[in-house]
Structure 1
């Protein structure tokens, strides 16, 4: 009798455990479906944004590899319903624009848009504003493109101790010398990169006023303002600093409509 009663009590327990297992499995399956749907929606959004960026780059008579877009924040669908997106990252590679006939190269332009506002109707219809509260961009100007712009045979540029360093062969009063030195790098009011070579020297330079004047004239000849290609998303250059890879340019903007960049 006791055994029969124990078996009777055990059956409900087993049924309860089975029901719990089934419920957990269903929740896991449902969760997996939601995650997959969320990631699919992200992929659609990323492709749409990448196509928009590609069009804007082309409008500026610039060229780049296909944009790489990543929409941050999880879950994405909650952001869609809320009309606010945490972060959209856009990477442009091999960005080139024409400046006075010479190509200024940006091997990478990394753009980070934060707190992006876009209503659900805007996402569905493609009509309306998609506005980023802040946009920050970081790009690198290659030293090779800068040297080509200066157009001095044998001139090379690089980074030395956090400064822009130059090395170039020169002929001063019949003596073949090697000029070395550094430049001050700043951002002008027009958003151009200003290079000022105020600290040049050459080993073996003749101790004559004319020789020093010729060296100073060479420094003035390679001190230029470098116009940058128009950056997307209304980015304004704030800082430029020499790095081993090139001149790193930092730019930013606020309240930017990213669906009508530039």
Structure 2
């Protein structure tokens, strides 16, 4: 006669599997809730920091669209409790500032703040400082804005093979010619961009010394130090580079308040 013991052994195994599955489901639910809570906290902090950044920009009399703020690092809740954030990315669009009565356009300014200190109380109350250990910024100044500052009718700037190129109408010895050439672009003291047009030519230029002298004078007149609008977050310009979309400006700063306590 067959024994019935195996039938009794299967029941504990089934119960064990059910308990294990239940535990796994609970763990997944808990993990999901933690992720949701983490992202909700991140969203609250991003909005709080965005508000304070917007106020800081307004204090500097600069204009921009509302900043887009993204707080990096995961898990986020541990950063909130510690009051220190690995990385905060800030995107400012349509940044404008007045320079010599002319508007200098920066369509987009990307700011990357690292090791940001911001206590939970500061984010909650809006009182206190939000300080970044390092800040790097990259923006683009449009060629139209630069051309307006040079104040030469018909002058156009652009990029070709990584160089700043110029095209402009000019009257030399009674002849209307088109000047073309390139410029050296460097950073000048005081967050200025130095434009030096050393290689200009004009097709049909009269082969006389006076014509060449007049062309050299034109190059000297448009070789200027262009002042940039005050960049937010105490950013200092380190590099400028001609690109198809405009003159790209790279800047950085250390120990920077992303806001200032009232």
Q: Give TM class, smaller chain.
A: over 0.9
TM-score (norm 1): 0.95
Does residue 8 in structure 1 map to residue 3 in structure 2?
no
The answer as to 2:68 corresponding to 1:68 is yes
Q: After TM superposition, where is structure 1 displaced by more than 6 Å over at least 4 residues in a row?
A: none
SS at match of 1:194: strand
CA–CA distance in 1 between the matches of 2:217 and 2:182?
Answer: 15
Is the aligned partner of 1:180 residue 2:180?
yes
**Contact map agreement 2:55 2:259 (CA 8 A) in 1:** no
Residue 3 of structure 1 and its aligned partner are, at CA, apart by 5.5
- The secondary structure found in structure 1 opposite 2:30 is helix
CA deviations on 1:22-75 (whole Å, 9 max, x unpaired) are: 111111111111100100111111111111122222222222111111000001
TM-score, normalised to structure 2, is 0.95
In 1, Cα distance between the equivalents of 2:69 and 2:2? Answer: 68
Q: Work out the CA distance in 2 between the residues paired with 1:56 and 1:210.
A: 53
Query: What is the Cα-based RMSD across aligned positions, in Å?
Result: 1.6
- 1:248: which partner in 2? 248
Distance 1:38 1:30 in 2: 12
State how far apart, in whole Å, the 2-side matches of 1:118 and 1:86 are: 11
For structure 1, the 5+ residue unaligned runs are none
> Within 2, Cα distance between the matches of 1:3 and 1:231?
87
Deviations 1:85-134 (A, max 9, x none): 11000001111111111111111100000111223343344333322111
Answer yes or no: is the 8 Å Cα contact 2:48–2:123 preserved in 1: no
2:132 alignment partner, SS class: strand
Between 48-57 and 34-43, report the one with greater CA deviation.
Answer: 48-57
5+ residue gaps, structure 2: none
What's the secondary structure of 1:260's corresponding residue? coil
